[in-house]
């Protein structure tokens, strides 16, 4: 965990810049924009929905710079777990990393489940007669296949991810090309009355909903931070993989959003009986290049959706590993596969929760599910991590930081405002679902679980604090030679 070459039986640094960026971009793009463009239009009430993607990009970039600084300085497996453990150990012991793992074991696989829901949704374009039970069976089968493919060494996964990244780029490129060859500016840029009435409370409710959907679409820019112990030259590659993936996906999303609105009348996206509301990319292809092209691109979109779930579970399964090794989570999660060196129990657990989330999502509203998941994530990860940057700069000023956040603390302030807007408007955007109350209840339950665990383990507040500063005292990972062969 200090960034030194992993001991025998530990992770191996084999992932380079291209593969790291591909992992992030595959997770970010996935099925997200193909299912959320109609949701974004519904939130804003018109083609001004592009504001949501721009706002989401700004929040992702500001938050991504936080991940970049901490990931480069502390390149261990687990991402936020590592950062929160180091930052908050001085006052609250192991409480914050425990709460993060407690929450991440829920929200990461549930976010993946939305990708599976989208997969089945687009599959319905190719198989319009597919019933509810058949769709459920397909989704569960997809999850089982993802877990099976991940049950192998990281060098093989890196190659698979690179191929899936190419398919993702091809699918979005074809939709964008088709859209702009039949682009109608009047459709894309004709706005309803009062679309930009900034003094209206309705506008800001829609903006908060759009920002929530937008950041959901960008989630995944931090996937490689969870895999910090497997990234070559992490001080250089990890920050670049985050920043490059955000900028790349931002360009793709804007072209996709504007192009789609220039082909499909946005009113169609609000009609639940119209194919444009569930499979808008397929509707674009059918209207521009015909049914055959629509079928072909739909297949590519299905592969893209599969890739996003694949990379999400790849990174997420690493989260409980460091915690278990530190005795901050169940110790069984600290074991790696004897041959392929991946965390078996973490992967299996998240696979099961993804399946449960998929079944829940199939019988609820996708927008509400996104709202609930995002709200749960805000408290323990997003807001805590913003604070952690400042705490670590004060507590560990000598920590080697190969990358420092640009214009500090401005990105932290922008990220803080963005996440607070999402959280503050959550109940208004999900009336009757109470996402704020559910998120607070989940954190409170996690605090109770921590107290029970801490009493059993005899750690703070029932024992002494364990202050570790291994990254502060450890060897600079950028100066070390990794003798493991790189994946091709």
Query: Could you give all domains of the chain from N- to C-terminal order, each with its CATH number?
Result: 17-437 (1.20.1740.10)
Structure token pair of residue 407: 């214009």
Name the least confident of 73-77, 180-184, 251-255, 403-407: 73-77
Name the least confident of 89-98, 204-213, 340-349, 444-453: 340-349
Name the least confident of 1-10, 128-137, 256-265, 387-396: 1-10
Long-range contact list for 462-465, CB < 8 A, 24+ apart?
A: 465/89, 465/90, 465/93
Contact between 405 and 65 under an 8 Å Cβ cutoff? The reply is yes
The confidence score (pLDDT) of residue 488 equals 30
Residue located via tokens 């895999």 = 227
269, HSE (Cβ side, Cα atoms, 13 Å)? 29
* Average confidence (pLDDT) over 408-412: 95
The confidence score (pLDDT) of residue 484 equals 41
Of 132 and 183, the structure prediction assigns the larger pLDDT to: 183
How does pLDDT run across 354-395, given as a tens digit for each residue? 998 898 888 877 787 788 888 988 988 999 999 999 999 999
The confidence score (pLDDT) of residue 156 equals 59
Report whether pLDDT(162) > 80.
no
Q: In 3D, which of 276, 350, 463 has the Cα closest to residue 101? A: 350
Q: What is the DSSP string of 280-308?
A: HHHHHHHHHT-HHHHHHHHHHHHHHHHHH
Residues 6 or more apart whose Cβ sits within 8 Å of residue 299: 126
* Average confidence (pLDDT) over 416-431: 92
Give the integer Cα–Cα distance in Å for 43 and 208. 9
- Averaged pLDDT score across all residues of the chain: 86
CA distances from 234 to 167, 477, 482 (A): 26, 7, 11
Give the integer Cα–Cα distance in Å for 225 and 241. 9
* Average confidence (pLDDT) over 255-268: 94
Q: What are phi and psi of 336, to 5 degrees?
A: -105, 155
The confidence score (pLDDT) of residue 483 equals 40
Report whether pLDDT(7) > 50.
no
The confidence score (pLDDT) of residue 150 equals 85
Burial, 432: exposed, middle or buried (Cβ in 10 Å; 0-12, 13-18, 19+)? exposed
pLDDT confidence band for 481 (50 / 70 / 90): very low
Of 100 and 366, the structure prediction assigns the larger pLDDT to: 100
* Average confidence (pLDDT) over 198-222: 90
Give the integer Cα–Cα distance in Å for 376 and 423. 9
Rounded to two decimals, the pTM is: 0.85
* Average confidence (pLDDT) over 22-33: 81
Report whether pLDDT(482) > 50.
no
* Average confidence (pLDDT) over 90-94: 91
Residues 6 or more apart whose Cβ sits within 8 Å of residue 258: 50, 188
How does pLDDT run across 286-340, given as a tens digit for each residue? 999 999 999 999 998 898 888 878 877 877 787 787 677 778 877 778 888 777 6
């Amino acid at each position: 965990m200090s960034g030194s070459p992993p001991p025998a039986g530990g992770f191996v640094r084999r992932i380079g810049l291209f593969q790291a960026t591909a992992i992030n971009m595959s997770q970010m793009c996935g099925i997200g924009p193909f299912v959320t463009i109609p949701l974004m239009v519904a939130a804003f009430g018109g083609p001004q929905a592009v504001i949501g993607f721009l706002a989401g990009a700004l929040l992702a970039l500001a938050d991504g710079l936080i991940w970049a600084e901490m990931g480069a300085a502390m390149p261990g497996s687990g991402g936020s777990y590592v950062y929160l453990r180091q930052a908050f150990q001085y006052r609250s012991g192991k409480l914050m990393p425990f709460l993060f793992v407690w929450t991440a074991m829920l929200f990461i696989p549930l976010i993946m489940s939305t990708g599976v829901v989208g997969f089945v949704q687009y599959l319905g374009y190719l198989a319009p007669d597919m019933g509810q039970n058949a769709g459920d069976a397909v989704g569960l089968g997809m999850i089982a296949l993802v877990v099976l493919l991940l049950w192998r060494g990281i060098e093989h996964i890196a190659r698979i991810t690179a191929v899936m990244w190419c398919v993702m780029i091809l699918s979005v490129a074809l939709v964008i090309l088709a859209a702009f060859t039949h682009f109608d500016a009047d459709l894309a840029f004709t706005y309803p009355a009062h679309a930009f009435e900034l003094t209206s409370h309705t506008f800001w409710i829609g903006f908060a909903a759009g920002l929530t959907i937008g950041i959901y679409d960008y989630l995944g820019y931090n996937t490689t931070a969870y895999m910090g112990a497997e990234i070559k030259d992490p001080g250089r590659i990890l920050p670049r993989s985050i920043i490059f993936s955000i900028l790349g996906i931002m360009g793709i999303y804007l072209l996709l959003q504007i192009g789609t609105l220039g082909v499909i009348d946005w009113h169609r996206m609000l009609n639940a009986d119209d194919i444009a509301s569930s499979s808008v990319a397929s509707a674009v292809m059918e209207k521009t290049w015909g049914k055959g092209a629509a079928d072909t691109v739909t297949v590519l979109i299905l592969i893209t959706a599969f890739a996003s779930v694949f990379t999400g579970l790849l990174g997420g399964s690493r989260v409980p590993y460091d915690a278990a090794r530190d005795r901050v989570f169940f110790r069984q999660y600290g074991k790696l596969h004897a041959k392929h060196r991946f965390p078996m129990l973490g992967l299996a657990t998240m696979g099961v929760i993804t399946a449960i989330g998929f079944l829940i999502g199939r019988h609820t509203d996708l927008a509400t599910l996104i709202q609930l998941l995002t709200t749960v994530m805000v408290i323990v990860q997003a807001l805590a991590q913003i604070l952690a940057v400042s705490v670590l700069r004060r507590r560990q000023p000598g920590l080697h930081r190969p990358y420092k956040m640009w214009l500090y603390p401005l990105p932290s302030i922008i990220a803080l405002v963005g996440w607070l807007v999402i959280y503050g408007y959550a109940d208004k955007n999900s009336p009757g679902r109470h996402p704020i109350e559910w998120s607070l209840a989940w954190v409170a339950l996690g605090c109770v679980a921590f107290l029970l665990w801490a009493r059993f383990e005899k750690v703070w507040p029932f024992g002494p604090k364990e202050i570790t500063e291994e990254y502060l005292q450890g060897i600079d990972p950028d100066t070390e030679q990794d003798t493991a062969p790189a994946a091709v």
